[in-house]
Amino acid sequence: MDVFEAINKRRSVRSYKADPIPEPVLSKVLDVMRQAPSAANRQPWKFLILKDQAIRESLVTQCGGQKFLKQAPVIVVACGLKDQAWKGVGGHPEASAIDIDLSIAIDHLTLAAVAEGLGTCWICAFKETCLKNLLKIPDTVKIVALTPLGYPASKDLIHPLNEDARKTSSELFCEDSYS
Amino acid sequence: MDVFEAINKRRSVRSYKADPIPEPVLSKVLDVMRQAPSAANRQPWKFLILKDQAIRESLVTQCGGQKFLKQAPVIVVACGLKDQAWKGVGGHPEASAIDIDLSIAIDHLTLAAVAEGLGTCWICAFKETCLKNLLKIPDTVKIVALTPLGYPASKDLIHPLNEDARKTSSELFCEDSYS
Protein backbone atom coordinates (compact mmCIF):
# COMPACT_ATOMS: atom_id res chain seq x y z
CA MET A 1 0.00 0.00 0.00
CA ASP A 2 1.18 3.50 -0.85
CA VAL A 3 2.67 5.29 2.14
CA PHE A 4 0.36 8.31 1.77
CA GLU A 5 -2.63 5.97 1.67
CA ALA A 6 -1.44 4.12 4.77
CA ILE A 7 -1.03 7.41 6.64
CA ASN A 8 -4.45 8.59 5.53
CA LYS A 9 -6.24 5.33 6.37
CA ARG A 10 -4.69 4.73 9.80
CA ARG A 11 -7.47 4.92 12.36
CA SER A 12 -7.59 4.25 16.09
CA VAL A 13 -9.32 0.87 16.01
CA ARG A 14 -11.28 0.12 19.17
CA SER A 15 -13.05 -3.12 18.19
CA TYR A 16 -11.34 -6.28 16.97
CA LYS A 17 -12.03 -9.76 15.64
CA ALA A 18 -10.40 -12.57 17.61
CA ASP A 19 -8.89 -13.97 14.37
CA PRO A 20 -5.21 -14.78 14.82
CA ILE A 21 -2.58 -12.98 12.75
CA PRO A 22 -0.69 -15.39 10.48
CA GLU A 23 2.92 -15.62 11.65
CA PRO A 24 4.49 -14.29 8.41
CA VAL A 25 2.22 -11.22 8.57
CA LEU A 26 3.02 -10.62 12.22
CA SER A 27 6.76 -10.94 11.61
CA LYS A 28 6.55 -8.55 8.67
CA VAL A 29 4.77 -5.80 10.55
CA LEU A 30 6.89 -6.17 13.69
CA ASP A 31 10.10 -6.00 11.68
CA VAL A 32 9.47 -2.35 10.76
CA MET A 33 10.16 -1.47 14.39
CA ARG A 34 13.58 -3.06 14.13
CA GLN A 35 14.24 -0.85 11.11
CA ALA A 36 13.26 2.37 12.87
CA PRO A 37 15.84 5.09 13.53
CA SER A 38 16.73 6.14 17.07
CA ALA A 39 18.89 8.87 18.59
CA ALA A 40 22.56 7.94 18.14
CA ASN A 41 21.30 4.56 16.88
CA ARG A 42 21.00 3.37 20.46
CA GLN A 43 17.89 1.26 19.70
CA PRO A 44 16.89 1.54 23.36
CA TRP A 45 13.93 -0.74 23.02
CA LYS A 46 12.34 -4.09 23.54
CA PHE A 47 8.87 -5.08 22.44
CA LEU A 48 6.80 -7.41 24.51
CA ILE A 49 4.37 -9.29 22.29
CA LEU A 50 1.43 -10.49 24.36
CA LYS A 51 -0.48 -13.35 22.76
CA ASP A 52 -1.55 -15.45 25.75
CA GLN A 53 -5.24 -14.86 26.37
CA ALA A 54 -5.02 -15.07 30.15
CA ILE A 55 -2.26 -12.48 30.23
CA ARG A 56 -4.17 -10.13 27.93
CA GLU A 57 -7.26 -10.48 30.08
CA SER A 58 -5.28 -9.91 33.28
CA LEU A 59 -3.88 -6.75 31.78
CA VAL A 60 -7.36 -5.31 31.43
CA THR A 61 -8.91 -6.72 34.59
CA GLN A 62 -5.98 -5.95 36.89
CA CYS A 63 -4.63 -2.77 35.36
CA GLY A 64 -7.82 -1.27 34.02
CA GLY A 65 -8.00 0.25 30.62
CA GLN A 66 -10.00 -0.23 27.53
CA LYS A 67 -11.73 -3.59 27.12
CA PHE A 68 -11.01 -3.74 23.40
CA LEU A 69 -7.36 -4.27 24.27
CA LYS A 70 -8.05 -7.91 25.06
CA GLN A 71 -10.20 -8.49 21.96
CA ALA A 72 -7.21 -8.27 19.66
CA PRO A 73 -5.05 -11.44 19.38
CA VAL A 74 -1.89 -9.44 20.12
CA ILE A 75 -0.94 -6.54 22.38
CA VAL A 76 2.40 -4.86 21.73
CA VAL A 77 4.03 -3.27 24.78
CA ALA A 78 6.72 -0.75 23.79
CA CYS A 79 9.44 -0.92 26.41
CA GLY A 80 12.11 1.78 26.52
CA LEU A 81 15.48 0.85 28.01
CA LYS A 82 16.23 3.90 30.14
CA ASP A 83 19.93 3.25 30.56
CA GLN A 84 20.49 2.77 26.84
CA ALA A 85 18.62 5.82 25.53
CA TRP A 86 20.56 8.84 24.30
CA LYS A 87 20.29 11.95 26.49
CA GLY A 88 20.69 15.60 25.55
CA VAL A 89 17.55 16.44 23.56
CA GLY A 90 17.39 20.18 22.93
CA GLY A 91 20.75 20.67 24.64
CA HIS A 92 19.27 19.65 28.00
CA PRO A 93 21.75 17.10 29.43
CA GLU A 94 19.16 14.96 31.22
CA ALA A 95 16.49 15.01 28.51
CA SER A 96 16.15 11.45 27.24
CA ALA A 97 15.19 10.63 23.66
CA ILE A 98 13.36 7.53 24.90
CA ASP A 99 9.81 8.74 24.14
CA ILE A 100 10.87 9.96 20.70
CA ASP A 101 12.67 6.71 19.84
CA LEU A 102 9.89 4.41 20.94
CA SER A 103 7.26 6.56 19.25
CA ILE A 104 9.06 6.33 15.92
CA ALA A 105 9.08 2.53 16.18
CA ILE A 106 5.40 2.30 17.11
CA ASP A 107 4.42 4.76 14.40
CA HIS A 108 6.19 2.58 11.85
CA LEU A 109 4.17 -0.38 13.18
CA THR A 110 0.84 1.42 12.97
CA LEU A 111 1.44 2.30 9.30
CA ALA A 112 2.71 -1.15 8.31
CA ALA A 113 -0.35 -2.61 10.02
CA VAL A 114 -2.70 -0.59 7.82
CA ALA A 115 -1.05 -2.03 4.73
CA GLU A 116 -1.72 -5.55 6.01
CA GLY A 117 -5.36 -4.85 6.89
CA LEU A 118 -4.57 -4.79 10.61
CA GLY A 119 -5.75 -2.26 13.15
CA THR A 120 -3.88 -0.59 15.99
CA CYS A 121 -4.64 2.03 18.62
CA TRP A 122 -2.06 4.14 20.43
CA ILE A 123 -2.63 3.64 24.16
CA CYS A 124 -0.89 6.11 26.47
CA ALA A 125 -3.53 5.88 29.20
CA PHE A 126 -2.33 2.81 31.09
CA LYS A 127 -1.08 2.16 34.60
CA GLU A 128 2.64 1.66 34.14
CA THR A 129 3.33 0.51 37.71
CA CYS A 130 0.57 -2.10 37.57
CA LEU A 131 1.64 -3.31 34.14
CA LYS A 132 5.26 -3.65 35.17
CA ASN A 133 4.25 -5.71 38.20
CA LEU A 134 1.94 -7.91 36.18
CA LEU A 135 4.41 -8.51 33.37
CA LYS A 136 7.53 -8.59 35.59
CA ILE A 137 9.14 -5.77 33.66
CA PRO A 138 12.25 -4.41 35.44
CA ASP A 139 12.64 -0.90 36.85
CA THR A 140 15.19 -0.03 34.17
CA VAL A 141 12.34 -0.03 31.64
CA LYS A 142 9.92 2.75 30.81
CA ILE A 143 6.73 1.58 29.11
CA VAL A 144 6.08 4.32 26.56
CA ALA A 145 2.90 3.05 24.91
CA LEU A 146 0.84 -0.02 24.08
CA THR A 147 -1.19 -0.99 21.11
CA PRO A 148 -3.54 -3.83 20.33
CA LEU A 149 -2.84 -5.45 16.97
CA GLY A 150 -5.50 -7.36 15.14
CA TYR A 151 -8.13 -7.36 12.44
CA PRO A 152 -10.74 -4.61 12.83
CA ALA A 153 -14.18 -5.95 13.76
CA SER A 154 -15.71 -4.10 10.82
CA LYS A 155 -14.54 -2.32 7.70
CA ASP A 156 -16.66 0.63 8.77
CA LEU A 157 -14.07 1.36 11.47
CA ILE A 158 -11.68 2.49 8.75
CA HIS A 159 -13.73 5.62 8.09
CA PRO A 160 -12.25 8.63 6.26
CA LEU A 161 -10.19 11.12 8.24
CA ASN A 162 -12.55 13.41 10.16
CA GLU A 163 -11.46 16.77 8.78
CA ASP A 164 -13.81 18.59 11.15
CA ALA A 165 -11.84 17.30 14.12
CA ARG A 166 -8.52 18.47 12.69
CA LYS A 167 -6.72 21.74 13.03
CA THR A 168 -6.33 23.49 9.70
CA SER A 169 -3.08 23.90 7.80
CA SER A 170 -3.06 27.61 8.59
CA GLU A 171 -3.14 26.79 12.30
CA LEU A 172 -0.34 24.26 11.95
CA PHE A 173 2.23 25.75 9.65
CA CYS A 174 4.07 29.03 9.79
CA GLU A 175 6.90 30.12 7.52
CA ASP A 176 10.18 31.61 8.73
CA SER A 177 8.75 33.19 11.87
CA TYR A 178 6.65 31.75 14.67
CA SER A 179 3.10 33.02 14.73
CA MET B 1 5.78 4.15 -2.86
CA ASP B 2 4.88 1.12 -0.79
CA VAL B 3 4.91 1.82 2.94
CA PHE B 4 7.31 -1.05 3.70
CA GLU B 5 9.68 0.25 1.03
CA ALA B 6 9.50 3.79 2.43
CA ILE B 7 10.30 2.51 5.92
CA ASN B 8 13.17 0.41 4.61
CA LYS B 9 14.67 3.18 2.46
CA ARG B 10 14.48 6.02 4.99
CA ARG B 11 18.01 7.08 5.78
CA SER B 12 19.43 9.93 7.86
CA VAL B 13 20.50 12.21 5.02
CA ARG B 14 23.40 14.50 5.94
CA SER B 15 24.18 16.11 2.57
CA TYR B 16 21.69 17.99 0.42
CA LYS B 17 21.32 19.72 -2.94
CA ALA B 18 20.18 23.33 -2.74
CA ASP B 19 17.38 22.59 -5.24
CA PRO B 20 14.07 24.01 -4.06
CA ILE B 21 11.13 21.72 -3.34
CA PRO B 22 8.19 22.39 -5.68
CA GLU B 23 5.32 23.82 -3.66
CA PRO B 24 2.83 20.99 -4.42
CA VAL B 25 5.40 18.43 -3.25
CA LEU B 26 6.15 20.38 -0.09
CA SER B 27 2.45 20.77 0.71
CA LYS B 28 1.85 17.07 0.14
CA VAL B 29 4.60 15.90 2.47
CA LEU B 30 3.80 18.44 5.18
CA ASP B 31 0.12 17.50 5.16
CA VAL B 32 0.88 14.05 6.56
CA MET B 33 1.75 15.76 9.85
CA ARG B 34 -1.70 17.29 9.96
CA GLN B 35 -3.15 13.79 9.55
CA ALA B 36 -1.12 12.31 12.41
CA PRO B 37 -2.83 11.01 15.54
CA SER B 38 -2.16 12.56 18.95
CA ALA B 39 -3.17 11.73 22.51
CA ALA B 40 -6.84 12.67 23.02
CA ASN B 41 -6.65 14.27 19.56
CA ARG B 42 -5.18 17.40 21.13
CA GLN B 43 -2.93 18.09 18.11
CA PRO B 44 -0.58 20.03 20.39
CA TRP B 45 1.68 21.15 17.59
CA LYS B 46 2.84 23.81 15.25
CA PHE B 47 5.46 23.38 12.56
CA LEU B 48 7.80 26.19 11.71
CA ILE B 49 8.92 25.86 8.10
CA LEU B 50 12.22 27.68 7.63
CA LYS B 51 12.96 28.59 4.03
CA ASP B 52 14.77 31.92 4.32
CA GLN B 53 18.47 31.32 3.71
CA ALA B 54 19.68 33.91 6.22
CA ILE B 55 17.55 32.36 8.96
CA ARG B 56 18.75 28.86 8.15
CA GLU B 57 22.35 30.03 8.22
CA SER B 58 21.83 31.90 11.50
CA LEU B 59 20.42 28.74 13.00
CA VAL B 60 23.68 26.91 12.33
CA THR B 61 26.11 29.78 13.01
CA GLN B 62 24.41 31.05 16.17
CA CYS B 63 23.02 27.85 17.64
CA GLY B 64 25.67 25.40 16.47
CA GLY B 65 24.79 22.06 15.06
CA GLN B 66 25.34 20.20 11.90
CA LYS B 67 26.28 22.26 8.84
CA PHE B 68 24.18 20.14 6.49
CA LEU B 69 21.11 21.62 8.13
CA LYS B 70 21.53 24.81 6.12
CA GLN B 71 22.22 23.00 2.84
CA ALA B 72 18.65 21.81 2.55
CA PRO B 73 16.13 24.35 1.21
CA VAL B 74 13.80 23.74 4.16
CA ILE B 75 14.19 23.08 7.87
CA VAL B 76 11.13 21.85 9.76
CA VAL B 77 11.04 22.80 13.45
CA ALA B 78 8.57 20.62 15.39
CA CYS B 79 7.03 22.79 18.09
CA GLY B 80 5.03 21.18 20.88
CA LEU B 81 2.37 23.29 22.58
CA LYS B 82 2.93 22.41 26.22
CA ASP B 83 -0.38 23.70 27.51
CA GLN B 84 -2.38 21.79 24.89
CA ALA B 85 -0.73 18.38 25.22
CA TRP B 86 -2.53 15.57 27.02
CA LYS B 87 -1.02 14.52 30.34
CA GLY B 88 -1.22 11.21 32.14
CA VAL B 89 1.01 8.86 30.14
CA GLY B 90 1.46 5.59 31.99
CA GLY B 91 -0.90 6.78 34.73
CA HIS B 92 1.59 9.45 35.84
CA PRO B 93 -0.50 12.64 36.14
CA GLU B 94 2.24 15.03 35.01
CA ALA B 95 3.67 12.92 32.19
CA SER B 96 2.97 14.79 28.96
CA ALA B 97 2.39 13.04 25.65
CA ILE B 98 4.09 15.93 23.85
CA ASP B 99 7.21 14.02 22.75
CA ILE B 100 5.11 11.08 21.59
CA ASP B 101 2.68 13.28 19.65
CA LEU B 102 5.32 15.34 17.88
CA SER B 103 7.39 12.26 17.09
CA ILE B 104 4.45 10.60 15.37
CA ALA B 105 3.98 13.66 13.17
CA ILE B 106 7.67 13.90 12.25
CA ASP B 107 7.88 10.18 11.61
CA HIS B 108 4.99 10.50 9.17
CA LEU B 109 6.92 13.31 7.45
CA THR B 110 10.14 11.33 7.16
CA LEU B 111 8.33 8.44 5.46
CA ALA B 112 6.30 10.63 3.09
CA ALA B 113 9.53 12.40 2.17
CA VAL B 114 11.14 9.13 1.06
CA ALA B 115 8.26 8.52 -1.32
CA GLU B 116 8.85 11.92 -2.91
CA GLY B 117 12.61 11.42 -3.27
CA LEU B 118 13.31 13.84 -0.40
CA GLY B 119 15.71 13.33 2.47
CA THR B 120 15.31 14.10 6.16
CA CYS B 121 17.37 13.63 9.30
CA TRP B 122 16.00 13.51 12.84
CA ILE B 123 17.88 16.16 14.84
CA CYS B 124 17.51 15.98 18.61
CA ALA B 125 20.95 17.49 19.33
CA PHE B 126 20.11 21.21 19.12
CA LYS B 127 20.20 24.08 21.58
CA GLU B 128 16.56 24.71 22.37
CA THR B 129 17.12 27.92 24.33
CA CYS B 130 19.22 29.46 21.55
CA LEU B 131 16.77 28.38 18.86
CA LYS B 132 13.80 29.80 20.72
CA ASN B 133 15.57 33.12 21.10
CA LEU B 134 16.60 33.21 17.46
CA LEU B 135 13.19 32.26 16.13
CA LYS B 136 11.18 34.16 18.77
CA ILE B 137 9.37 31.02 19.85
CA PRO B 138 7.40 31.53 23.08
CA ASP B 139 8.09 29.79 26.40
CA THR B 140 4.86 27.80 26.10
CA VAL B 141 6.49 25.81 23.30
CA LYS B 142 8.79 22.82 23.55
CA ILE B 143 10.90 22.19 20.46
CA VAL B 144 10.91 18.40 20.20
CA ALA B 145 13.00 17.88 17.08
CA LEU B 146 14.16 19.42 13.80
CA THR B 147 14.74 18.00 10.40
CA PRO B 148 16.18 19.35 7.20
CA LEU B 149 14.04 18.58 4.16
CA GLY B 150 15.50 18.52 0.70
CA TYR B 151 16.89 16.44 -2.13
CA PRO B 152 19.81 14.21 -1.10
CA ALA B 153 23.13 15.34 -2.65
CA SER B 154 23.67 11.86 -4.06
CA LYS B 155 21.66 8.71 -4.62
CA ASP B 156 24.43 6.82 -2.83
CA LEU B 157 23.20 8.32 0.43
CA ILE B 158 20.15 6.07 0.21
CA HIS B 159 22.22 2.98 0.95
CA PRO B 160 20.62 -0.26 2.16
CA LEU B 161 19.83 -0.64 5.86
CA ASN B 162 23.04 -1.52 7.69
CA GLU B 163 21.99 -4.79 9.28
CA ASP B 164 25.30 -5.05 11.15
CA ALA B 165 24.42 -1.90 13.12
CA ARG B 166 21.01 -3.24 14.14
CA LYS B 167 19.96 -5.26 17.10
CA THR B 168 18.58 -8.64 16.08
CA SER B 169 14.96 -9.68 16.28
CA SER B 170 15.74 -12.02 19.16
CA GLU B 171 17.12 -9.08 21.14
CA LEU B 172 14.05 -6.95 20.37
CA PHE B 173 11.05 -9.17 20.72
CA CYS B 174 9.88 -11.33 23.58
CA GLU B 175 6.59 -13.18 23.80
CA ASP B 176 4.26 -13.11 26.80
CA SER B 177 7.01 -12.55 29.38
CA TYR B 178 9.77 -9.96 29.58
CA SER B 179 13.24 -11.42 29.04
CB-CB under 8 Å, B49 with A173: yes
Q: What pLDDT, on a 0 to 100 scale, did the predictor assign at position B65? A: 77
B85 falls in which pLDDT band (50, 70, 90)? Answer: very high
The answer to whether the Cβ–Cβ distance between A115 and B3 falls below 8 Å is yes
Q: What is the pLDDT of residue B96?
A: 98
A79 CB-side CA count, 13 A: 27
d(CA B3, CA B6): 5
Mean pLDDT of B106-111: 98
Mean of the per-residue pLDDT values of chain B: 96
Residues contacting A20, CB < 8 A, separation 6+: A73
Whether residues A112 and B4 touch (CB distance < 8 A) is answered with yes
- Does the interface ipTM go beyond 0.85? yes
Task: Report the residue of A103, A126, A147 to disrupt the B interface, i.e. the one with the largest count of B CBs within 10 Å.
Answer: A103
Domain formed by A3-172, architecture: 3-Layer(aba) Sandwich (3.40)
Q: How many CB atoms lie within 10 A of CB A133?
A: 12
% of chain B with per-residue pLDDT over 90? 95
pLDDT digits (tens, 9 = 90+) for B152-165: 999 999 999 999 99
Q: What is the pLDDT of residue B63?
A: 87
Q: Supply the pLDDT for residue A62.
A: 87
Tell me what the mean pLDDT of segment B17-45 comes to: 98
User: What is the mean pLDDT of the segment spanning B32-59?
Assistant: 97
Q: Where are the domains of chain B?
A: 3-172
pLDDT score, position B93: 98
Q: How many CB pairs under 8 A join A and B?
A: 219
pLDDT value at B66 more than 90: no
Which ranges of chain A have pLDDT less than 70? none
H-type helices in A10-127, by residue range? 23-34, 53-63, 98-115
Please write the tens of the pLDDT for every residue from A129-150: 999 999 999 999 999 999 999 9
Mapping DSSP to helix (H, G, I), strand (E, B) and coil, where does residue A162 land?
coil
